[in-house]
Amino acid sequence: MIHIEKEIIKLKDEVMLIRRELHKIPEIGFEEEKTSQFIAKKLEEYGIKVYKNITKTGVVGYLKGSVGKNTIAFRADMDALSIKEETNLSYKSEHEGFMHACGHDAHMSVVLGLAKYLSFHKENVRDNIVFLFQPAEEGPGGAQPMIEEGVLEKFNIDKIIGLHVYPEVVQGKIGCKKGALMAQTGEFDIKVYGESSHGAIPQKGKDSIVIAANIISAYQTIISRSTNPIEGAVLTIGKMWAGERRNVIAGSAYLEGTIRTFHEEVYKKIKERMSAIAKGIEKMYDCRIEITFRDMYPAVVNDDELVDVLINAIGNENIEFIEPQMIAEDFSYFQRQIPGLFFFLGVRNEKEGYVYPLHHCQFNFHEEVLLTGIQVYVNILRTLKGLE
Ligand SMILES: CC(=O)N[C@@H](CCC[C@H](N)C(=O)O)C(=O)O
């Protein structure tokens, strides 16, 4: 068990309240206006210097350390998902159709809790601390534009640390590993151009629904038969829509999906196979299929020394050394520039029913985990000698 110190336990009500306020106002990437204002107000309340409108809705809080030689950033993502919340929580989303189903409300609350804690212990803070609130993690990605805008240079950041609540790891434990922790990701959109007709006269049309169904089935063989099973990959079509009426042959169909891998060659192979299969299906059905690929985030790769810092900070017994996960994170862009540590804050709690996966419309967690998150950050800072 990670020991939570009294000073952090005292933050419980405040951090819980913050989390609930944020949970009520989920906003999607680069539209985090209310979220951004809320964060800035809190940081100001804690006496921390605030920089607003960084990469549109991003916010940075800056606390100068007494030594000030090193600068450590703690990053929280701010955006929510276009998912309709199906919980009965009293602090349920007030933005119909949007939900903090990926726990970014937790990530922001932990970093704000840390800010409050450090504001009480200013005289003990040796390193400069950056509280980095990043928009649009779920897409199109806020980390890369923040880097391009010069956030790392402006605040002289030399290490970056982030976490993600994770129901695959049990509550009270931290999931982490050296090297690759999370996958490389890419998105794709597929448009099928068939031809509409009366539902009773199919021979006059080209049924886009049948064509889309063929694409979906044929794609199932890409991972199972064209990639090395040891290397691991995922191809998911998560959204499709087509057709207007039950008695009309659908003139077009649209599919959207995601690719996950850990190796660039596997990623390329999957895209090649997708294009080749689509070409074959075009011929088969005498139709047109358009695929747009968007390469998204590189893999999250942890700095080995920072993982050792985490181990020293909380002890081996509190860490679940997990396999690389197929979820993705644009935290990886920061790690390409400076040493970075990313870890999972376990939230799985069968007894209390916190079992839903990320992105589920009933996803939730026990708010005690927020204190664990703050404590882990504080321990890391102490281990790094950034805090006395
Ligand atoms: C932690 C998490 O769930 N991250 C997302 C990131 C999505 C990036 C982008 N929209 C994509 O799908 O490539 C995830 O889906 O893993």
* Mean of all residue pLDDT scores within the chain: 97
ipTM: 0.91
276-334 pLDDT, tens digit per residue, is 999 999 999 999 999 999 999 999 999 999 999 999 999 999 999 999 999 999 999 99
132-143 pLDDT, tens digit per residue, is 999 999 999 999
Helix axes 12-24, 368-383, angle to 10 degrees: 110
238-289 pLDDT, tens digit per residue, is 999 999 999 999 999 999 999 999 999 999 999 999 999 999 999 999 999 9
pLDDT band at 120 (very low <50, low <70, confident <90, very high): very high
Q: Is 303 a catalytic residue?
A: no
Q: Is the CB of 358 under 6 A from ligand 1?
A: yes
Q: Is the CB of 258 under 6 A from ligand 1?
A: yes
Nearest to 137 by CA among 322, 374, 334: 334
Mutate to test the pocket of ligand 1, among 181, 234, 327, 359 (most ligand atoms within 8 A of CB): 327
pLDDT at 243: 97
CATH of domain 6-183+299-383: 3.40.630.10
**C-beta of residue 176 within 8 angstroms of C-beta of residue 323:** no
pLDDT band at 53 (very low <50, low <70, confident <90, very high): very high
pLDDT at 292: 98
Residue 99: DSSP 8-state:
B
CATH class of the structural domain 184-295? alpha beta
Instruction: Give the mean pLDDT of 223-246.
Output: 96
Atom of ligand 1 nearest to the CA of 326: 16
From 79, 105, 138, 330, the catalytic residue: 138
pLDDT at 26: 98
pLDDT at 287: 98
Cβ within 8 Å of residue 309, ≥6 positions away: 341, 380, 383, 384
Mutate to test the pocket of ligand 1, among 185, 333, 344 (most ligand atoms within 8 A of CB): 185
Domain with CATH 3.30.70.360 in the chain: 184-295
**C-beta of residue 226 within 8 angstroms of C-beta of residue 295:** no
Q: Is the CB of 222 under 6 A from ligand 1?
A: no
Atom of ligand 1 nearest to the CA of 186: 13
Question: Taking the model in full, what pTM does it have?
Answer: 0.92
Domain with CATH 3.40.630.10 in the chain: 6-183+299-383
pLDDT at 18: 98
Percent of the chain surpassing pLDDT 90: 100
Nearest to 238 by CA among 252, 222, 256: 256
pLDDT band at 170 (very low <50, low <70, confident <90, very high): very high
